[in-house]
C-alpha cells in the first residue's frame, strides 16, 4: 500500500521508517527543506532497545507528487491539520484511507471531509519519539497503537495488520474515543502544566503542588468525557501518569519544547478543546481553563507585533 506520512517530525519518521523496513512503499511529506534534504540524503536511523536500525527514505513536498496513495497517516500539529489535508487532496483517490494518530481532538472530523466516514480512521499511540536531528530518532519497541473508525464499515483491521506487521503493535478498539480521551486527559494535564512552569515530567511528579494540579485537570477532563458518554478509566489514566513520573523524569513535553522554541502550541486542540466541550455542556473546568489561558499568554507574540 503506497503510504504517505503527512508531517515528518519525530513520530512521522518513526512510523514511516518502521513501515518502510517492513516493505511498505513510504513517502515522507513535509514543508521543511532541511527535513526533506536530510531524509533524502541520509534516510532514517532509529535508536531503540533493539539496537540501531537504518532505512533509506524518499521525502518530498506534496505539491511535487502525482498519483494516488492508498494510505495517508497524518502526524502534523492539530492547528495544521486542515492545511495538511488540503495539500494532499490531489493525491487522494476513491479508495484512499486517512488515519490520524495526532494528539488532541477534532482532527478526525477534518479528515472525514476529505476521505469520507468509512475511510477515515483515528487512533492514538504511546510510542515515544525524540529527534536528535532530522533522520535520527530515538524510541523503543514497547509502544502500541490503538485505532478505530467513525463507521462500522471501515478498513481498520486491514490497517491495524499493516502497522502490526511493521512492529507497531496495533489493535482495533470498538470505541476508539476511550483511549483517545484518556490520552487527551494525560496530555492536557502534563503539557499545559509543563508549558506554564517549565517543569519536566519528573519535576511535576515530585512536586506535591504540581501533582494536585494534575489531579484537578484529570477530574475536569473525566467529567467532560463522561458527559459525552465516553467511558474513560480514571485508573488507567493515573497508571499512565505514574509510569511517566517514574520512567520519563527528564522528559520535556512537546508543549514545553514548542514554548521554548517560540513555536505555536497545541493548547487549543488539547486542553482548550476539552474546556470548550465542557462549556457547551455546562461543565466548568477552572483549573484547565486557567492553565490554557496562561499558555496562550506566555506564547503570544509581544504586544504591537
Cα dist from 227 to 147, 217, 277, 284, whole Å: 22, 16, 10, 12
Nearest CA to 44 out of 20, 73, 72, 75 is that of 20
How large is the angle between the packed helices 286-299 and 254-261, nearest 10 degrees?
30
Euclidean distance between CA atoms 176 and 124, whole angstroms: 9
Average pLDDT, the chain: 96
Provide the 3-class DSSP secondary structure of residue 28: strand
pLDDT (tens digit per residue) in 10-36 = 999 999 999 999 999 999 999 999 999
Domains present along the chain, CATH in parentheses: 3-172 (3.40.50.720), 177-299 (1.10.1040.10)
Alpha-helical (H) ranges within the chain are 10-21, 33-42, 81-87, 107-115, 156-165, 177-197, 201-206, 208-227, 234-247, 254-261, 271-281, 286-299
In a structure prediction context, what are the per-residue pLDDT tens digits for the chain, which is 305 residues long?
A: 999 999 999 999 999 999 999 999 999 999 999 999 999 999 999 999 999 999 999 999 999 999 999 999 999 999 999 999 999 999 999 999 999 999 999 999 999 999 999 999 999 999 989 899 999 999 999 999 999 998 888 999 999 999 999 999 999 999 999 999 999 999 999 999 999 999 999 999 999 999 999 999 999 999 999 999 999 999 999 999 999 999 889 989 999 999 999 999 999 999 999 999 999 999 999 999 999 999 999 998 766 55
Give dist(CA 89, CA 281) in Å, integer: 35
Supply 156's cell numbers. 481498520
At 170-212, the pLDDT tens digits run 999 999 999 999 999 999 999 999 999 999 999 999 999 999 9
Let me know the angle formed at the C-alpha of 169 by 164 and 171, rounded to the nearest 5 degrees. 85
The tens digit of pLDDT for each residue in 79-96 reads 999 999 999 999 999 999
Amino acid at each position: 500500500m503506497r503510504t504517505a506520512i503527512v508531517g515528518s517530525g519525530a513520530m512521522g519518521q518513526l512510523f514511516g521508517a518502521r513501515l518502510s523496513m517492513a516493505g511498505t512503499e513510504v513517502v515522507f511529506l513535509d514543508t521543511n527543506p532541511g527535513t526533506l534534504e536530510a531524509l533524502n540524503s541520509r534516510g532514517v536511523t532509529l535508536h531503540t532497545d533493539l539496537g540501531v536500525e537504518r532505512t533509506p527514505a524518499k521525502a518530498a513536498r506534496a505539491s511535487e507528487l502525482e498519483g494516488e496513495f492508498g494510505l495517508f497517516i497524518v502526524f502534523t500539529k492539530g492547528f495544521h491539520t486542515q492545511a495538511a489535508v488540503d495539500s494532499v487532496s490531489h493525491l487522494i483517490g476513491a479508495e484512499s484511507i486517512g488515519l490520524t494518530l495526532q494528539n488532541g481532538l477534532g482532527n478526525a472530523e477534518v479528515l472525514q471531509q476529505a476521505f469520507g466516514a468509512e475511510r477515515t480512521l483515528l487512533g492514538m499511540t504511546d510510542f515515544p519519539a525524540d529527534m536528535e536531528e532530522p533522520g535520527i530518532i530515538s524510541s523503543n519497541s514497547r509502544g502500541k497503537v490503538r485505532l478505530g473508525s467513525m463507521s462500522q464499515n471501515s478498513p481498520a483491521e486491514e490497517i491495524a495488520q499493516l502497522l502490526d506487521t511493521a512492529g507497531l503493535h496495533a489493535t482495533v478498539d470498538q470505541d476508539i474515543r476511550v483511549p483517545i480521551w484518556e490520552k487527551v486527559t494525560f496530555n492536557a494535564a502534563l503539557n499545559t502544566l509543563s508549558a506554564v512552569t517549565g517543569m519536566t515530567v519528573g519535576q511535576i511528579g515530585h512536586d506535591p503542588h504540581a501533582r494536585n494540579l494534575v489531579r484537578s485537570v484529570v477530574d475536569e477532563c473525566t467529567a467532560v468525557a463522561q458527559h459525552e458518554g465516553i467511558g474513560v478509566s480514571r485508573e488507567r489514566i493515573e497508571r499512565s501518569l505514574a509510569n511517566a513520573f517514574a520512567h520519563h523524569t527528564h522528559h520535556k513535553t512537546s508543549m514545553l519544547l514548542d514554548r521554548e522554541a517560540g513555536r505555536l502550541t497545541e493548547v487549543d486542540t488539547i486542553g482548550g478543546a476539552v474546556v470548550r466541550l465542557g462549556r457547551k455542556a455546562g461543565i466548568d473546568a477552572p483549573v484547565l481553563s486557567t492553565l490554557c489561558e496562561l499558555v496562550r499568554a506566555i506564547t503570544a507574540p509581544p504586544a504591537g507585533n
